[in-house]
Structure 1
């Protein structure tokens, strides 16, 4: 037997530590019940036909399995034909509102998140400076974010009233909530006013993690303010910035209450979103059809989250050793 074999310690099988399982297990069970079950149930219902009225008996009948009928109804506007098969849905049918609502949803998401990111970054930089009244400034900035969305919508509805503050200050007579273009502008302004502080709060947390010595060394080396911003601030604040953008993007894709209260609750309005179609279908008793739209929204949110986490850098975290790694 060699010396290395004598000095080698015997292998001892490690016991599996169940403590993390017991700590995380209850939360996972609650999430599975509260989140997992509704998702699975919605997907199941999306493949089932809605209840119908039997003309012979006058009783409601279960529709049975419908396959991809609901998805084709919304995605291709394929309505059932009287003699069998499908035909293109005529104007006025709710299916024709799907793609305009999807376009509005994506438009509001891209526009509001972009503006909130720029304004939130500027607000975070100002709140991060050592100025008099900084604590009061931070508290005041967060007030719009703390106000419920319904209250925000009513507040801006008064501002954008034909006889409201907006037209009085601008000296105009704009129909903010009825004109399609200005109605979108009103929603964007209200949403940015409310949610930009949320972005500022998350970005500020990332800015405060940057050591001051880094900027001092850059100034000694002759770096300008722009070079410090591009080479130091942006790379080091990127994880917090991407997390903030991710959260806001996923929330904006589900926009509902702001356009409903501020403009109109009709699914055929020029500011209708996909979430509004879901609610309107449920009000008409078409729960399975509404489940199909909900599933499409879920897939859209999941795809956007996956792309941002996988390809746009929102997956950068730090392990216990301080080394950056990616979530696979």
Structure 2
């Protein structure tokens, strides 16, 4: 008896009805409105704190100082409109003082941030290790950062006094708070002492998210402590370190209170752009002071923009970067073992 086989016809795939485009647009528009509502307080604060003062400073930089009008011979009660004369004067008649302040600002920024990065990483490594009394060590390291800058300046002014602790330790008689390169050294030491813990704190946060399995795999491969630091710790903590360096760079470019209190005003050795702008404002020359402030703002903005453009996601923050690098290291170790 022959059996017949019947082949079932292929079943047509189920088709999922497409979502109407109008509903998708409504969902996207609703998310956009929610996002705009959530960030509106931040945008409002930034407008009040950053945008409005910047616009006012730019406007004031186009006006001169009241005084005798050479054309009429009368005294002007209002600030005259001078256009870009304040800027041309900065790069012309007042060019020597401006460039001195510019190079002082740049030198102090580069030197202090570099030293703070190295010392901050060392502090983070010490605070990250497990040992008895770690809480006390962490507190003592972070104390300088909690001290107000004005208090820190007065403290270091006493240390760098002619008969202070610095000269007693070195056995020299250096007038630290007078003109000269030693004034720069005093500012650098005081600034590094105060703000290196800030970098150490951010780097410590980066160290605490590194998987311990990566170090265990490196130890099994026979990597020394130095190789572990150079090939594991430093690459994995790089995003946090770069963010810390960016914040400190932008802060150091606006340095004012520490050299002003520690060394004093109108000192050629340590006069920064912020001190120069304040000196003009104190002499009721608000137009040139605003011009200096605008130039400093542009300088800081360009540094921040270059930092973000060159380093990209490392500064903005890539949450998946550290786990991916850790998995790559573990995979490499497995391949070597096989």
- Give the TM-score normalised by structure 1: 0.87
Aligned to 2:83, the other structure's residue is in SS state coil
Which residue does the alignment assign to 1:139?
A: 139
Are the aligned partners of 2:210 and 2:322 in contact in 1 as well (CA < 8 Å)?
Answer: no
Shift of 1:126: 0.7
Question: Residues of 2 paired with 1:281 and 1:72: CA distance?
Answer: 16
Distance 1:28 1:237 in 2: 31
The match for 1:37 is 52
CA apart distance, 1:228: 1.3
Structure 1 residue 33 displacement after superposition: 1.5
Query: Aligned with 1:53: secondary structure?
Result: coil
Name the residue aligned to 1:85.
none
Q: Does 1:204 align with 2:209?
A: no
CA–CA separation in structure 2 for the residues paired with 1:199 and 1:279: 28
Taking the aligned partners of 1:322 and 1:225, their CA distance within structure 2 comes to 20
Query: Greater shift after overlay, 119-128 or 218-227?
Result: 218-227
Query: Following the alignment from structure 2 to structure 1, what is the Cα–Cα distance between the partners of residues 311 and 183?
Result: 32
1:10 and 2:14 matched? no
Please give the residue correspondences for 1:86-165 in structure 2 after superposition, counting only pairs within 5 Å: 89=93, 95-165=95-165
Q: Whole-Å Cα distance in 1 between the matches of residues 231 and 95 of structure 2?
A: 49
Give the number of the structure whose residues are more often helix, by fraction. Answer: 2
How many residues get paired? 305
1:51 to 63, 66, 82: 66
8 Å contact from structure 2 (residues 142, 197) kept in 1: yes
Identify the range of structure 1 (175-184 vs 310-319) with the bigger mean alpha-carbon deviation: 310-319
Alignment correspondent of 2:3:
none
Aligned to 1:299: 298
The 2-side partners of 1:106 and 1:236 are apart by 29
Q: Which has the higher strand share?
A: 1
User: Which residues of structure 2 form unaligned runs of 5+?
Assistant: 1-11, 325-338
1:238 — aligned with what? 238
Deviation sequence 1:247-277 (CA, Å, 0-9, x none)? 00000000111111111211x5221111011
Q: Which residue of 2 aligns with 1:288?
A: 287
Contact residue 54 and residue 60 of structure 1 kept, 8 A: no
Cα deviation, residue 8, structure 1 = 3.3
CA deviation after TM superposition for structure 1 residue 294, in Å: 0.7
